[in-house]
């Protein structure tokens, strides 16, 4: 229902004792007797997993909207009308020191070398204004939000040496997938740090909690008086929405406390896997909360560190992830690697499900989203970068075709896909990196 003669601004916050809690879209945020549907607000997410994929278990056998998902992508089947698998994409800029530049070149479309032409690319080096696709989107979509973007990781990124290429590449390319004006954007690993970035006043500027924020006190207890006052002024449906939203924040906050305790105990204990799986779930839930409250419209996430040594005993894979990725075409090891890759997709599918269940005006957050899910490596044994495992997820406010398998022209630059996606999100980009045009059918 609408509140006649009085309505809330979209940028309405609950504040108190160092906390700032943005609200989801409510009926009361629409002008009284409004007849026009509010302009849909797009969200963008770039979700990266390391070490490529076993491609014949990723790529559908057929093409078009009816193509059956491969084993790795099968957990996304319930959302197949919002999932497009994109084949035929190559990233020539990722060739070089193995792993050391793989994450950082995923969203760039430019060479990471310091002034030295690469044998596979005509680019001479890093441009002074080099900005990855997520930050290009943030420059446009983030102008109206408290945070232009957020960058999250579920495992501490590693600095990887470049060996004989020392001095030709920066040291940050293994640690982040996000750059703005050639400066790396650090990935937030701790759930508490990301939670505070979203809800603690003063935390957004430097990553630390504000000095006036009392420790050990729930975010919701700090804004409780304002929440009660707000409820008195809302219609019945909005009261239910706000109550459910605040309950969700409280649940996530409790899980954050639990995850922090696990992280403290985990480095030298059997709790390491439990801590990792909890962080993986939490980071996705925090991104969903940020999207729902319009705290940010752009997020990037590294699901595991490059050269990750994480084990996955809970799915029957005790061998470290990176070591297993050097599978030497051994069928048993490839099967184990597929289990990890399918597990990552299942975790990502949980994020997709959350977005599908969360309303945003007259649609869901999934309907509003443009999400790229994939890796910057193909076969992890060969360490190649063609064909890349990539999937586009979401409705893009009606701009995405959605569904099936699109095979692009062989060795289409990854920049073409990135340009296509940011344009689908309404970002008026003329080009991106070495792009030559858009990818059709997406």
Task: Give start-end residues of each CATH 3.40.720 domain in the chain.
Answer: 45-189+296-442
Q: What gap in Å lies between CA 44 and CA 106, rounded to an integer?
A: 15
Within its chain, how far is the Cα of 132 from the centroid?
14
Whether pLDDT at 205 is above 60: no
pLDDT of residue 38: 65
pLDDT of residue 37: 56
3-state DSSP assignment of residue 411: strand
Q: Is 186 exposed, middle or buried (0-12, 13-18, 19+ CB in 10 A)?
A: middle
Helix (H) or strand (E) holding 184: strand 183-184
**Averaged over 188-194, what is the pLDDT?**
95
- The highest-level CATH class for domain 45-189+296-442 is alpha beta
State pLDDT tens for residues 36-49.
556 789 999 999 99
pLDDT of residue 12: 83
State pLDDT tens for residues 343-386.
999 999 999 999 999 999 889 999 999 999 999 999 999 999 99
Q: Any idea what DSSP says for residue 70?
A: P
Whether pLDDT at 120 is above 50: no
Whether pLDDT at 121 is above 50: no
Whether pLDDT at 269 is above 80: no
3-state DSSP assignment of residue 40: coil
Alpha helices in 65-180 (DSSP H): 133-141
**Averaged over 421-426, what is the pLDDT?**
98
pLDDT of residue 11: 76
**Residue 399 CB coordination number (10 Å):** 18
| 111-to-116, 173, 193, 355, 415 alpha-carbon distances in Å | 9, 11, 32, 34, 12
Q: What average pLDDT is seen over the chain? A: 89
Q: Any idea what DSSP says for residue 144?
A: G
**Averaged over 266-284, what is the pLDDT?**
84
- Beta-strand (E) ranges in 262-403? 298-302, 359-360, 363-364, 369-374, 390-393
Strand partners, 393: 83, 371
**Averaged over 256-285, what is the pLDDT?**
84
State pLDDT tens for residues 144-187.
999 999 999 999 998 898 888 888 888 899 999 999 998 999 99
Angle at 428 between CA 426 and CA 433, to 5 degrees: 115
Which tokens in the block code for residue 57? 């278990």
The percent of residues above 70 in pLDDT, for the chain, comes to 88
Whether pLDDT at 119 is above 70: no
State pLDDT tens for residues 225-261.
998 998 888 999 999 999 999 999 999 999 999 988 8
Q: What gap in Å lies between CA 313 and CA 329, rounded to an integer?
A: 22
User: Any idea which residue has 């910057």 for tokens?
Assistant: 376
């Amino acid at each position: 229902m609408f509140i006649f003669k009085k309505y809330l601004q979209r940028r309405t916050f609950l504040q108190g004792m160092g906390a700032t809690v943005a609200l989801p879209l409510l009926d009361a945020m629409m002008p009284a007797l409004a007849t026009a549907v509010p302009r849909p607000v797009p969200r963008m997410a770039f979700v990266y997993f390391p070490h490529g994929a076993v491609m014949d278990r990723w790529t559908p056998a057929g093409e078009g909207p009816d193509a059956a998902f491969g084993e790795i992508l099968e957990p996304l089947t319930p959302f197949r009308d919002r999932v497009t698998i994109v084949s035929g994409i190559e990233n020539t800029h990722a060739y070089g020191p193995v792993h050391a530049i793989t994450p950082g070149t995923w969203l760039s479309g430019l060479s990471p070398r310091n002034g030295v032409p690469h044998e596979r690319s005509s680019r001479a080096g890093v441009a002074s204004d080099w900005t990855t696709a997520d930050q290009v989107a943030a420059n446009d979509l983030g102008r109206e939000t408290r945070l232009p973007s957020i960058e999250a990781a579920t495992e501490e990124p590693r600095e990887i040496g470049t060996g004989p290429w020392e001095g030709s590449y920066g040291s940050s390319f293994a640690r982040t997938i996000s750059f703005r004006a050639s400066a790396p954007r650090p990935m937030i690993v701790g759930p508490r740090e990301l939670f505070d970035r979203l809800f603690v006043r003063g935390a957004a500027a430097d990553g630390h909690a504000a000095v006036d924020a009392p420790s050990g006190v729930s975010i919701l207890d700090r804004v409780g008086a304002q929440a009660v006052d707000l409820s008195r002024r809302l219609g019945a449906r909005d009261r239910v929405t706000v109550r459910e939203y605040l309950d969700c924040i409280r649940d996530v906050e409790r899980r954050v406390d639990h995850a922090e305790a696990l992280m403290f105990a985990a480095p030298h204990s059997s709790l390491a896997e439990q801590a990792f799986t909890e962080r993986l779930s939490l980071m996705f839930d925090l991104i969903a909360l940020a999207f729902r409250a319009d705290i940010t419209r752009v997020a990037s996430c590294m699901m595991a560190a490059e050269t990750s040594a994480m084990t996955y005993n809970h799915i029957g894979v005790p061998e470290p992830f990176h070591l297993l990725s050097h599978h030497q075409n051994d069928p048993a090891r490839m099967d184990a690697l597929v289990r990890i890759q399918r597990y990552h997709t299942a975790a990502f599918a949980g994020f997709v499900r959350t977005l599908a269940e969360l309303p945003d005006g007259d649609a869901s957050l999934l309907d509003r989203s443009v999400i790229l899910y994939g890796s910057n490596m193909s076969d992890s044994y060969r360490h190649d970068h063609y064909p890349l495992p990539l999937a586009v997820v979401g409705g893009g406010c009606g701009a995405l075709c959605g569904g099936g398998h699109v095979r692009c022209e062989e060795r289409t630059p990854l920049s073409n896909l990135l340009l296509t996606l940011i344009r689908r999100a309404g970002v008026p980009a003329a080009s991106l990196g070495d792009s030559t045009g858009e990818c059709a059918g997406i």
